[in-house]
Amino acid sequence: MEWELSNTMSINIDRYAPRRATRAVCAAALLTWAPVACASTSTDGSATTDTTKASSAAVTKAAKSAVGITSLHYRLSGTVPAKGRVTADASMTAQPPAMSMDLSTAASQGEGGQLRIRFTNKTMYVGGSAIHSEKLKGKHWLSAAPAIWGQGAADNQSYGVLPSQLQANPATQSTLLNGSKDLRAVGTETVDGVTTTHYKGTVNYDALSGERLDQFMQLEVSDPLTMDLWIDSKDRPKQFRLQAEHHDDTPTASAADTPLDLTVTFLDINQPATIKAPPADDTAPLAADTQH
């Protein structure tokens, strides 16, 4: 079944049953803490090796720091295959897993089409102008359960509301560069008013404990991925950018050919965050429309 939205946005429903591994984010594959050994390219090997080791050590520290992130306010923007331009402002908590996101795409922004998404208590709530009003039955929110977000190696389930790349916990995603074999420091840069050190590298699919990155393969993007990571003075990730070409050669709409180019900026780390469900009397259950 398909949950129809206004304009070009749609939410896919598969008989109200959770999708398994194809929708899961293999976060365990991203949590590889071992420092990366990179080959030297200098004449005597010493200068380049020392620089590479320093970069690897810094990225490893940031990856370990990301594990300690219990709540996060973040902003994302860029392009995602088959979705085109996306922008979002979101907050999350790790324990218990919960998330709120206000998401829009370029295809719907012209007419104000947006999605308001909440995950809490294993239930997903969706509202916003992108949903046809008749689906809401006079309410402002739809609900679906069971729903799972940010569960690491467990199955994520957003009923097709979120592109696979947006289903992951961004703190976990920020560790991806720790698997790079060509890691290098770019320089010092200011991000959102914070002084950071910028690192860059590429990551192959098979570099992450041999497990598939379903979130990227589902998007049909190229291997390797290119990643930039900005780390602040407290050894914490401040921003990361993921890039990959879309390799689907079939003639489809222009949005389907959009490369993956997504930037996530961490605005507040480990600050109090409360994610609440919408009022029950303002919510219509999705099951009433889709079970039969």
The tens digit of pLDDT for each residue in 125-171 reads 999 988 888 888 899 999 999 888 875 544 678 887 887 778 888 99
- Residue 44 within any structural domain of the chain: no
The whole-number average pLDDT for the span 107-120 is 70
What's the confidence (pLDDT) of residue 23? Answer: 34
pLDDT top residue among 276 and 218: 276
- Residue 40 within any structural domain of the chain: no
DSSP string spanning 159-177?
TTSS-GGGSS-HHHHTTGG
pLDDT top residue among 82 and 292: 82
Residues near 109 by Cβ (< 8 Å), separated by ≥ 6? none
3-state secondary structure (DSSP) of residue 7: coil
- pLDDT above 80 for 271: yes
What is residue 94's DSSP assignment? Answer: T
User: Could you tell me the pTM of the whole model?
Assistant: 0.78
* 5-59 residue pLDDT tens: 544 444 443 333 344 333 333 333 333 333 333 334 445 555 567 788 899 999 9
How far are the Cα atoms of 1, 44, 269 from residue 286, in angstroms, in the given order?
12, 65, 33
Question: Amino acid identity of 179?
Answer: G
pLDDT top residue among 246 and 255: 246
- Residue 112 within any structural domain of the chain: yes
3-state secondary structure (DSSP) of residue 140: coil
- Residue 109 within any structural domain of the chain: yes
Q: Report residue 186's pLDDT band, with 50, 70 and 90 as the boundaries.
A: very high
How far are the Cα atoms of 214, 217, 269 from residue 67, in angstroms, in the given order?
21, 25, 12
- Residue 218 within any structural domain of the chain: yes
- Residue 117 within any structural domain of the chain: yes
What's the confidence (pLDDT) of residue 256? Answer: 56
- Residue 102 within any structural domain of the chain: yes
Q: What's CA 253's distance to the chain center, in Å?
A: 23
* 191-208 residue pLDDT tens: 999 999 999 999 887 765
- pLDDT above 70 for 225: yes
Can you tell me the distance from the alpha carbon of 225 to that of 178, in angstroms, rounded to the nearest whole number? 13
- Residue 26 within any structural domain of the chain: yes
Mean pLDDT of all residues belonging to the chain = 76
Q: Could you count the other beta carbons within 10 Å of the beta carbon of residue 276?
A: 11
What's the confidence (pLDDT) of residue 48? Answer: 60
| Residue range of the domain that includes 163 | 2-34+64-276
What's the confidence (pLDDT) of residue 254? Answer: 53
Q: How many domains does the chain have?
A: 1
- pLDDT above 70 for 249: no
Share of the chain above pLDDT 70, in %: 68
What CATH number does residue 135 fall under?
Answer: 2.50.20.20
Residues near 41 by Cβ (< 8 Å), separated by ≥ 6? 48
